[in-house]
Amino acid sequence: MFKEVILAAVVSVDTLLASAAYCGSGIRIPSSSAALINLISSAVLYISLIFSELAMRCIPVEICRISGFIIMTAIGMFAISKSLVRGIVRRISRHGELSLRLGSEGIVMKLYLDDTAADRDHSKILSLGEAAALAAAGSLDSAATGLSAGLTDVRPLYAALFTFIAGTLAIILGNIAGKKISSMNRDLSWTGGVLLIVFALLSFCHIL
């Protein structure tokens, strides 16, 4: 069960940082929106862990263990790299907004560069629709983490439950420490990548 708790904490790091960014910008996250964000994150993690559990029935345990370690380490390194790129692009974007267009619809990359961009109507309150968009943007990381963590024998139901609880605590803590964290004016999303690599290493060495 300890492994599931640690995984939940690792997955919730991005939620903590996003919550802190919102608080620092004076944007309020209602309890209903917070619950929706955590519900989506938990559900995505649960489904991906179930898929991994099914894969473990067809693949030798040792191969699953090694694969899980390699994939989680790769995801962690990608998260660290993404944080570095995000910082560079943010500096460049100060000279103009970066955007990617598909057809007639403009898909602005601000959500990638700035978590608070989910508040599209600038109401200073994160609506349910905006919360769903924010959760969906981070669901790929949760899915990839779940698929790889499942190969290290993580129990899906416990992991999903603890992720919901950890996500709720992360939003509360983000609201409390938001202004202090945001005043640092640094992208700390790399911490999630570092923690994931540590989790992968501890799991591989049977410490967790």
pLDDT in tens, 159-177: 899 999 999 999 888 888 7
**Overall size of the chain counted in residues:** 208
**Structural domain span for residue 11:** 2-204
| Contact call for residues 150 and 56 (beta carbons, < 8 A) | yes
Q: What is the pLDDT of residue 109?
A: 47
| Contact call for residues 73 and 173 (beta carbons, < 8 A) | no
Q: What is the pTM of this model?
A: 0.76
Q: What is the pLDDT of residue 185?
A: 64
Q: Which residue ranges of the chain lie beneath pLDDT 70?
A: 86-87, 89-122, 150-152, 179, 181-187, 208
Q: What is the pLDDT of residue 161?
A: 93
Q: Considering its fold, how many domains does the chain have in total?
A: 1
Mean pLDDT taken over the chain: 76
Structure tokens at 91: 């500096």
Which of 42, 57, 36 minimizes the C-alpha distance to 4?
Answer: 42
Q: What is the pLDDT of residue 107?
A: 36
Cα 182-45-202 angle, rounded to 5 deg? 80
Q: What is the pLDDT of residue 168?
A: 92
Q: What is the pLDDT of residue 67?
A: 80
Q: What is the pLDDT of residue 59?
A: 78
